[in-house]
């Protein structure tokens, strides 16, 4: 069990130090900004959506390794998905990190989502749940064309 926990920490640190899909998206057609005032995390999600398909997704921001890793992994998972699929994945991810319920019976089970299980441990640290979910809430606001600000408070 200790080896698995160490592997999870390495994956989180890798995505935190070298986030994938980091930077502005020149041809974005929606974006949203998120902020976690408790720890100072800030995330901006940029999307290019055509015909309900997420053609491209990128992010910018600063924050803890969990927040950046979550954003990085989220962008890898959601690129190419429909907004409907992404909405289901949002619910499944929220259940994984924030709720006391089984997430294996979701319609969206797939190998790609399994990679997010490295973040499941934040459930034990309520303050860190907000770090992990901030990018996802910001993504949801961008999809809904809510160009305002998202806050974890």
Q: What is the span of the domain harbouring residue 73?
A: 2-151
The reported pTM is 0.90
Number of domains, the chain: 1
Element (H, E) at 17: helix 2-17
pLDDT in tens, 22-54: 999 999 999 999 999 988 999 999 999 999 999
Give the CATH number for residue 144: 3.90.1010.10
- Report pLDDT for 147: 63
| CA separation, residue 68 to residues 2, 35, 50 (Å) | 23, 13, 26
Q: Is pLDDT above 50 for 144?
A: yes
Q: What is the pLDDT of residues 73-121, one digit of tens each?
A: 999 999 999 999 999 999 999 999 998 665 555 444 578 888 899 999 8
Contact 89, 108 (CB under 8 A): yes
Residues 3-27 as b or e (16 or more Cβ within 10 Å = b): eeeeeeeebbeebbeebbbeeebee
pLDDT band at 152 (very low <50, low <70, confident <90, very high): confident
Structure-model confidence comparison of residues 102 and 69, the more confident one:
69
């Amino acid at each position: 069990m200790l080896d698995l926990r160490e592997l999870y920490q390495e994956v989180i640190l890798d995505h935190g130090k070298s986030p994938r899909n980091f930077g502005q998206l020149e041809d974005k057609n929606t974006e949203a900004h998120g902020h976690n005032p408790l720890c100072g995390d800030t995330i901006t999600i940029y999307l290019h959506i055509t015909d309900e398909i997420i053609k491209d997704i990128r992010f910018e921001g600063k924050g803890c390794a969990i927040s950046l890793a979550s954003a990085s992994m989220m962008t890898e998972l959601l690129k190419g998905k429909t907004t409907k699929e992404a909405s289901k994945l949002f619910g499944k991810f929220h259940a994984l990190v924030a709720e006391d319920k089984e997430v294996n019976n979701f319609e969206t089970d797939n190998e790609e989502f399994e990679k997010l299980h490295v973040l499941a441990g934040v459930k034990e640290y309520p303050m860190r749940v907000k770090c992990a979910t901030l990018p996802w809430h910001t993504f949801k606001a961008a999809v809904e064309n809510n160009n305002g600000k998202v806050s974890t408070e």
